[in-house]
Copies of this chain bind each other. A is one copy, B any other.
Amino acid sequence: MVESALHLTIATELRGRIRAGELPVGGPMPSESELCREFSASRGPVRQALAALRAEGLIGGGQGRRAVVLDTVAAQPFATLLSFSRWAEMIGRTPGQVTQEIGVGRPGPAVAAALNLDAGDDVVALVRLRLLDGEPAMVERTSFVTSVGRALLDVDLDTVSIYAHLAEAGADLHTARHTLDAVAADPRDAALLGVAEGSPLLRERRLAMTSTGEPLEWSDDRYRPDVASVTITNTRSAHAAMVRHLDD
């Protein structure tokens, strides 16, 4: 087993203590020097770990004061925000999917612009109904650039997680941009999700890129708003952290 970096070890350990209630919400964190002694680290890694927790919205506080525990649940890691399946598993639900369409073809102008494609380029387009515990939760309309999408044409998309498959195929998913708004359910959305036509849906449009900014995937996902919503935490110093969660 490769030991991971010290600052990651510290962050993981502190996250665990916060989640377990060992460090209670509203209470102070240990001081930096205490953490240095405990983990035999210099202040660098300790501060790096605290900065991470701060960015996740777990702790707050200011100069001269000890950091304060704000919450017990952190924002979700990268993969969870990208993959419906991993998200479902993380929140303890069973993901499912029913593929409606898949094929190679010319993209519409909006998709071509989002993926920064040239005039002649094709995409692999996919429409799926996503389920949570067997109930309709989301309609997904995804377009992949062909270099990535080709790997999908041979697999059974109703059983395999796309992102797990793409990761194995070596796709370098690194950054994603999510745009959230509300739309009315069109007739097809309504039929698939089991809601009335025109009823409000939470739409997440997502562009996934490599570490160098090359677009890989563009998706238009429409959630039943009674099933899922999105929470973001932001702090004066740090920036925002996002979490998609279930409505109970």
Residues in A lying within 8 Å of B, measured CB to CB: 25-26, 52, 55-57, 60-62, 65, 68-71, 75, 78, 81, 173-184, 198-203, 209, 211-213, 223, 225, 228-242, 247
Contact = CB atoms under 8 A, between A and B. Distances in A.
Given A177-B231, A235-B78, A201 B200 contact: yes
Contacts of A184: 199-200
Nearest to A79: B236
Contacts of A183: 182, 200, 225
A247 B205 CA distance: 14
A68 B235 contact: no
A225 B184 CA distance: 10
A151 B42 CA distance: 45
B75 A178 contact: no
Contact of A68 (B62, B199, B211): B211
A179 B241 contact: no
A177 B78 contact: no
Contacts of A235: 78, 174-176
A183 B202 CA distance: 8
Nearest to A75: B239
A204 to B, nearest CB: 9
B176 A233 contact: yes
Most buried by B among A65, A199, A229, A236: A236
B180 A212 contact: no
Contact of A212 (B26, B174, B211, B228): B26
A225 B182 contact: yes
Contacts of A236: 78, 173-175, 211
A201 B175 contact: no
Going nearest first, the 7 A-B pairs with the smallest beta carbon separation are A200-B200, A182-B182, A240-B242, A181-B229, A182-B200, A182-B202, A182-B225
Contact of A231 (B52, B180, B199): B180
Contact of A56 (B68, B69, B223, B239): B239
A240 B76 CA distance: 9
A225 B183 CA distance: 7
A76 to B, nearest CB: 9
Contacts of A200: 182-184, 199-201
Contact of A198 (B198, B202, B229, B241): B198
A81 B240 contact: yes
A232 B180 contact: yes
